[in-house]
């Protein structure tokens, strides 16, 4: 239970930071909140999965489009991360740029 709480707190922190930035499309406050929520939920799902490292996977969300960048050990884990992203409510598309290192 304590590990899940810590993972969720890390995901919330990282999710908020991942969506900061000055350049890019203009978004409404509602869209920004939706994107932050998607990023936070996905980071929490990645952190809760013992096979995936939330610290090695960067999640960027803009207008419901999710981009995954970072490293995973296998093709199966690359697909798993993408599947997790697609299951999050509000996700319109997923661009999987994860690199297989194993």
pLDDT digits (tens, 9 = 90+) for 48-96: 999 998 899 999 999 999 999 999 999 999 999 999 999 999 999 999 9
3-state DSSP assignment of residue 9: helix
CA separation, residue 100 to residues 24, 53, 67 (Å): 28, 13, 16
Number of domains, the chain = 1
Pairing of strands 65-72, 57-62: antiparallel
Q: How far apart are CA 99 and CA 96, in angstroms?
A: 9
Domain hosting residue 82, numbered range:
2-100
CB atoms within 10 A of CB 26: 5
Residue entry with tokens 């509602």: 30
Q: What is the pLDDT of residues 13-49, one digit of tens each?
A: 544 544 445 455 565 776 777 999 999 999 999 999 9
3-state DSSP assignment of residue 97: strand
């Amino acid at each position: 239970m304590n590990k899940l709480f810590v993972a969720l707190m890390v995901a919330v922190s990282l999710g908020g930071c991942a969506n900061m930035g000055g350049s890019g499309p203009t978004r409404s406050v509602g869209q920004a909140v939706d994107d932050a929520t998607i990023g936070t939920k996905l980071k929490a799902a990645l952190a809760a999965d013992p096979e995936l490292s939330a610290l090695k996977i960067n999640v960027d969300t803009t207008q419901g489009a999710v981009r995954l960048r970072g490293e995973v050990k296998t093709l199966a884990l690359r697909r798993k991360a993408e599947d997790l992203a697609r299951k999050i409510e509000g996700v319109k598309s997923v661009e999987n740029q994860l690199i297989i290192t194993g």
